[in-house]
Amino acid sequence: MTVGYSIWTEVDGIVRDGLLPHFMHLRRKYGGCESTEDEAARLSAIVSELTWDHSSRKSLNLRLLTPARFIVPLDENSWLLDWANMDVILAERLGQFGWMSGTAAKARGKDFERILVDHLSNEFAENPSYRSSVQLAWHGDGGRKRLRLTNGRKPDLDIGIFANDLMLAIEVKARGASRKLLFSGTIDEMHERWRKRIRPALADIDYLAASIARRESNLRIPRSIRGIVPLVCCPFPEWIVSLDKKFWIYEDIPRVCTPDELLHIVDRLVDGDDPNSESIVPLHRLSVER
């Protein structure tokens, strides 16, 4: 294909004789689903989600590049397929490369922090397995609520979670990245992003976690807590420059995680899955605890 689009005519026949059999085969192969009379309706719904219409054009957001569509109806039985728009399609469908799709995956800055706190609060309240062992202990409220350190500094702890015998100290970073970087970024570009944006965020939360662990803050820690795990939470996965254990809480989850990875971490802590010891800052037991 030498151009970024195709034009399909006699679309009804293409969908019926080409797309539908292939769609049914993929559902059987990868979804373990037996073919039913609903297959054509399922495919039609997917096609509708990818087709520009009056409603999708009215809700077009040029900042977020949503909604993402690539089928442009030319007449009742002809389509233009905009293949050059597939990176935008994938970005929206994959929740901007994170495990959480929709609004929370695309929010920026304080909005992302607020949505994340609401999401965690709802999950902790609705899941019975969390009620006795998980507590949303601190929310920085977009920087309006700050810790006080003994050296006079007032750092911003975005989120603190008590989970079993550990505290998760979380720095929320909604750092945007261009689609070019996420799809085809060079090694040098990825290293630069790590050096300028990701590593400093880790250093900030590492410093704060160490201060809390040394009892240098006004944050009161329950007696049951034995250590602090400093994390950075971003809307989409970030490239981690090293396999060094200090950057990973588990072998498959880094300390720079997505919102849904954060919930996976909480689940594993509740289930007694101890994190990598190098990710834990031990708590100093020097003062009276409640």
Q: Evaluate if residue 72 carries a pLDDT over 60.
A: yes
Q: Which residue has the higher pLDDT, 265 or 191?
A: 265
Q: Please check whether residues 79 and 146 belong to one and the same domain.
A: no
- pLDDT tens for each residue of 83-133: 887 767 766 655 443 434 444 444 555 678 888 888 899 889 888 888 888
Q: Please check whether residues 192 and 74 belong to one and the same domain.
A: no
Number of domains present in the structure of the chain: 2
Q: Please check whether residues 72 and 129 belong to one and the same domain.
A: no
User: Pick from 93, 122, 156: which residue ends a domain?
Assistant: 93
Write out the residue range of the structural domain in which residue 11 sits: 5-93
Q: Please check whether residues 113 and 64 belong to one and the same domain.
A: no
**pTM listed for this prediction:** 0.62
Asked if residue 184 belongs to a domain, the reply is yes
User: Pick from 54, 70, 93: which residue ends a domain?
Assistant: 93
Q: Please check whether residues 59 and 112 belong to one and the same domain.
A: no
Q: Please check whether residues 132 and 205 belong to one and the same domain.
A: yes
Asked if residue 290 belongs to a domain, the reply is no
- pLDDT tens for each residue of 217-244: 888 888 899 999 999 998 878 888 889 9
Q: Please check whether residues 19 and 83 belong to one and the same domain.
A: yes
What would the mean pLDDT of 243-249 be, rounded to a whole number? 93
Q: Please check whether residues 261 and 119 belong to one and the same domain.
A: yes
Q: Please check whether residues 11 and 148 belong to one and the same domain.
A: no
pLDDT of 189: 81
User: Pick from 93, 126, 143: which residue ends a domain?
Assistant: 93
- pLDDT tens for each residue of 171-201: 998 765 555 555 556 778 888 888 988 999 9
Q: Please check whether residues 84 and 215 belong to one and the same domain.
A: no
CATH number of the domain enclosing 245: 3.40.1350
Q: Please check whether residues 223 and 86 belong to one and the same domain.
A: no
- pLDDT tens for each residue of 29-67: 766 667 677 888 888 888 888 899 888 888 887 655 678
Q: Please check whether residues 155 and 274 belong to one and the same domain.
A: yes
What secondary structure, in 3-state letters, does the chain show? CCCCEEEEECHHHHHHHHHHHHHHHHHHHHHCCCCCCCHHHHHHHHHHHCECCHHHHHCCECCCCECCCCEEEEECCEEEEEHHHHHHHHHHHCCCCCCCCCHHHHCCHHHHHHHHHHHHHHHHHHCHHHCCCEEEEEECCCCCCCCCECCCCCCCCCEEEEECCEEEEEEECCCCCCHHHHHHCCHHHHHHHHHHHHHHHHHHHHHHHHHHHCCCECCCCCCCCCEEEEEEECCCCCCCCCCCHHHEEECCEECEECHHHHHHHHHHHHCCCCCCHHHCEECCCCCCCC
Asked if residue 289 belongs to a domain, the reply is no
